[in-house]
Structure 1
Amino acid sequence: MSSRTERATIRFGTDGWRAVIAGDFTFANVARVAQAYADYLLEQTRNEELPTSPEPRVIVGYDRRFLSEHFALLTAEVLSGNRIDALLFEQDMPTPVISWTVRDRRAHGGVVITASHNPPEFNGFKIKAPWGGSATPEVTSAVEALVDRHEPQREEHRPHGQEELAQAVANYRVQVESYVDLDRLRALRARVIVDPMHGTGARWVESFLRGGALEVETIRPNRDPLFGGVNPEPIDQNLGPLKERVTQTGALVGLATDGDADRVGAVNELGQTMTMHEVVPLVLLHLARHRRMTGGVVRTFSQSVLLKRIADAHGLKLYDTPIGFKYIADLMLREDILLGAEESGGIGVKGHIPERDGILNSLLFLEAIATAGKPPSEMVRDLHREFGEFYFGRRDLHMEVSRGKALVAELAEKTPTEIAGYKVASISTMDGTKLIFDDESWLLFRQSGTEPVLRIYAEATSIEKMNALLDEGCAIAQGPRAVKA
């Protein structure tokens, strides 16, 4: 791994600034970003665009990645050096709990040291807005512009405000307990396996489910900065232990959260990983049909056709956005939104903070299963019978950002007429290049905004067609273009 200069260029991606530890993610660079954020807060306070108080207040938290607690302490020291009141959690904490705390304590913002689901060698710097969601692109762009305006100011951070933080965490628990029918879940005569993937989810989901007939087992709850040798993203290739344990114990479902517990994943009773193109539609159907909740539905560019069909069937307005939960959060702040979701497991729901929450959504999905009275595989079959069969897959190819972006642009400019023998009916370039077919199947090429990975997504009316589209997509990305244009 080659080293980078300390004065690395700071660019915020889909959700925060992320970089390789000891490459660009160094103590010196974290101090630069923290100082830029401090400058932004002080400038906004002077302009009276943030809540007035004797000094700005920021909540600082961190995940279980390598050195995260030290990067968080440094951030608090820089904020303190700028006369900003930094309340620092004394232990790792799930991102949704930190987000909740920002709003609960009426802070001016928050910082979470986390790289979420990225590979173990990464860490990151997420900025939280006063309402608890991710900072808007306008805010992160403003912070970027202030990097190196001033040299970092540091002073010793004296721990304080722990009672306030503890009260906010207690309030979060009350919120979750009031949102989900926990009595019903605890009364289930079944077994559930929970997998936080060595991340900050730890035993949070389990803690809400104890005390009844339901048997709950948490695997991989301990801190491991290497995440057991996989990326802490709850997708099929990383969930081997969960799939195995569900099968061994005859569990009803396996529930997983990512490295900072803001995303959810699931394994059905057969030990098969469920995609978010199954989980999210089932959660939406539960909210709209069984809870009789209303509001708009937001899907990011790589989410399912099924969300549109369910929204249409229930008279719910559909919004499409680029990939990134910040776009969903923006709509949740401005419109009456029932649910917003992205393919990577981030779900936001009405009546909670405008942010992803893997803990709440794990419990909400379990509530949907309990309400249906059926195992997840049967729920999916019912979903397909009513709204049509669609199957989703994704391939991630390591690719330098510049090369990936060039490929995506070329596909938009020189659109192929067919892929794997299927005629391309239309194209959309909202975020990447999406090729759409006559039956609403689609193939999407998109360069990641947080790591050097080209993501290729497909949703199709059969598993065979989905795999054929992905195979052809990978062939295009990895070799000379051999398509008709």
Structure 2
Amino acid sequence: MHWQHAYQKWKHFDKLDKELKQQLDNMDEKALEDAFYKPLTFGTGGMRGELGPGTNRMNIYTVRKAAEGLARYLMEKGEEWSAKGIVVAHDSRHMSPEFALETAKVMGAHRIPVTLFTSLRPTPELSFAVRHLGAAAGVVITASHNPPEYNGYKVYNEAGGQVPPDEAEKIIAKVQEVENELTVKVAEKKEMETRGLLRWVDEEVDGPYVQALETIVRRRDVIQEQADRLKIVFTPLHGTSRDLLVRGLDQLGFKHVTVVEEQAQPDPEFSTVESPNPEEHQAFTMAIEYGKRLNADILIGTDPDADRLGVAVKNDQGDYPVLTGNQLGALMLHYLLSKSEKLPDNGVMIKTIVTSEMGRAIADHFGIATIDTLTGFKFIGEKIRQYELSGEHTFLFGYEESYGYLIGDFVRDKDAIQAAIVACEMAAYYKTKGKTLLDALNDLYQQFGYYREDLHSITLKGKEGEEKIRGIMEDFRKNPLDRAGDLRVYAVEDYQTGERTFVKDGQVESINLPRASVVKFLMNDNCWCCLRPSGTEPKMKFYFGVRGETREACNKRLKELKEAVLSRVKVEA
């Protein structure tokens, strides 16, 4: 349908939400086209977009449409299945509580039971709740670390993982069957409560989740030994993690946890930071001020829905450099493997194709297999479920470069609360050795070689932005990278065709992963670069990974590789 037809349908809908109608009336033609030229689609993290009127925006009608599609999908699996119901959670963003309730009301129209949290909760707790309560599915309303004008809709299956591509396609098909998002039927909240179709929870899930955190601790004795000396500063960045993480740290014996008060309260504007993303070092500005004032050992920060964790550690100069996601992942992996009493023979570590190769080197050292997945933690969750059913592997750790980690599989998505617990335990352990996490990281570099990674993103919004992103991907497919300084490309992986092509002889291998618009160039000495459009943001992403025998060699290779790739990209954001 041409965008103007969709716009006219909304404009003349006599029951249109008053606030959305007012916004619609104030939009120019370019804004209207961007709001209506397509429906929101599911990417690596579900449905996500800017708030506002239109089929390409997050609003009560697009949320109802998504919920209607999910309801039809569950009903098609049978009455016994849909009777298990769904669990719904939400974060601190604009319209998150409203979207959570709208989801419940659509389910109520189909007599599908809904369990709804009484207030905002972390995304990983939603994953836990689906499994703990035996629900058929889960939904969390969140846009993770996106700017304030965004919100999102993430769907989880009965295993507690984000729906993988095959399930997502079936749900999307049901969503697309919904002819008019404006007329989706909803039940009344009071009626649902009276009929037992809407149930509210809090401690019923909070308690068991916090109790499960006990299972990921390796050295409780170390925590007790350092309880009076280890100083922790924590910022939830105006999000959902404060109560649950403070409670978990306290239960495990950490005594000196100081919360950054200015960022402790939920705030949909995230008013104290440029971006509520622990990947962005500016998000730690206030935490660093606290750290210097208190002489803290470790600073921890979670994104608004508490599935990503950032960590900063005091160095010899009294500053607090922020670890990268790859660095923290390598530290966690090594610590967990080295402090386990006995590693299973079929143990496995799972990472994404754009995560550092240092993790593979560490896993190899302990005789643990490494499995690569596409970008997006849902693929890691899918592998955990697969191995749980087949018994082929025992899951030990999963991570991605974008600050996502999972230790205990009682959750099937990245979990910043779990990761924060382990990060603080590591800090306590190395403090007993007179070391910081930075010292421990340098020890790993000495043992496994120096690794450096980087990410360059270009924001390209709207219809024009999508066309530019397609052009960049097409250019690198037709004219593949061949060298960068002393690095030579020996193979090109195209995940859209599912083929790995070796440069020397043209030999082709199959890549046993789902199809995706991703191109990766493999180079000598465990170096690589990867191009992919983001599945959740209007961005073109360029990932770089290098290894060298020295820090200087690493830095030189990274500079040359980035120049070789980015010099070919001629677009304006």
Tell me the amino acid that sits aligned with residue 216 of structure 1.
V
TM-score normalized by the length of structure 1: 0.91
Which position in structure 1 is the counterpart of 2:439? Answer: 378
Matching residue of 1:177: 214
- Bigger shift: residues 463-472 or 249-258: 463-472
Q: 1:417 to 1:8 in 2, by over 3 A?
A: closer
SS for the counterpart of 2:87 is strand
* Whole-angstrom CA distance in 2 between matches of 1:90 and 1:317: 41
SS of structure 1 residue aligned to 2:77: helix
Give, in whole Å, the separation in 2 of the partners of 1:397 and 1:173. 39
CA distance in 2, matches of 1:65, 1:183: 39
Secondary structure of the equivalent of 1:232?
coil
Cα deviation per residue 1:194-217 (whole Å; 9 max; x = unaligned)? 121111112432222238574211
Task: State whether residues 236 and 303 of structure 2, in contact with CA within 8 Å, keep that contact through their aligned partners in structure 1.
Answer: yes
Q: CA 1:246/1:413 → structure 2, altered by over 3 Å: closer, same or farther?
A: farther
Q: Classify the secondary structure of the residue corresponding to 1:118.
A: coil
Spell out the pairing of 1:297-312 with structure 2 (5 A cutoff). 297-312=349-364
Q: Any stretches of 5+ residues in structure 1 without a counterpart?
A: 481-485
1:254 aligns with 2:299: yes
Question: 1:32-71 maps to which residues of 2 (within 5 A)?
Answer: 32-46=65-79, 50=81, 55-71=83-99
| CA displacement at 1:367 relative to structure 2 | 1.6
Which residue, out of 333, 337, 340, partners 1:288?
Answer: 337
CA contact (8 A) 1:401 1:447 kept: no
Give CA deviations for 1:132-191 in whole Å, capped at 9, x if unaligned: 111121222111111253452201123577675421221111111343256643552121
* 2:48 is the alignment partner of 1:18: yes
Measured in 2, the distance between the counterparts of 1:447 and 1:246 equals: 36
Q: Tell me: CA distance 1:197–1:478, structure 2 relative to 1, closer, same or farther (3 Å).
A: farther
Q: 1:405 to 1:369 in 2, by over 3 A?
A: farther
- For residues 394 and 246 of structure 1, what CA distance do their matches in structure 2 show? 27
Offset, 1:412: 2.8
- Answer with 1 or 2: which has the greater Rg: 2
Which amino acid in structure 2 is aligned with residue 177 of structure 1? E
Tell me the equivalent position of 2:402.
Answer: 344
User: How far apart, in 2, do the equivalents of 1:145 and 1:351 lie?
Assistant: 30
Question: Mean alpha-carbon deviation: is it higher for 116-125 or for 300-309?
Answer: 116-125
CA 217–467 in structure 1, closer or farther in 2 if over 3 Å, else same: farther
Aligned to 1:215: 256
2:479 to 411, 414, 418: 414
Q: Give the gaps of 5 or more residues in structure 2.
A: 1-26, 388-393, 496-515, 548-553
Q: How does 1:58-457 map to 2 (within 5 A)?
A: 58-150=86-178, 151-158=183-190, 159=193, 165-180=202-217, 184-185=222-223, 187-188=225-226, 189-210=229-250, 214-219=255-260, 220-228=263-271, 229-237=273-281, 238-270=283-315, 271-291=320-340, 292-294=342-344, 295-335=347-387, 336-373=394-431, 374-399=435-460, 400-419=465-484, 422-430=487-495, 432-457=518-543
CA offsets 1:224-261 (integer angstroms, 9 cap, x no match): 21223433221134333333433443221111111200
- The CA RMSD measured in Å over matched residues stands at 2.3
Structure 1 window deviating more from structure 2 (371-380 vs 208-217): it is 208-217
1:415–1:367 distance in 2 versus 1, CA, 3 Å: same
Partner of 1:470: 562
Q: 2 CA distance for matches of 1:361 and 1:465?
A: 31
Change (3 A) 1:112 1:416: same
Task: Determine the C-alpha separation between the residues in 1 that align with 2:216 and 2:50.
Answer: 37
Percent of residue pairs identical: 27
One-letter amino acid matched to 2:177? R
Aligned length: 475
Contact 1:242 1:267 in 2 (8 A): no
How far apart are 1:7 and its partner, in Å?
A: 8.8
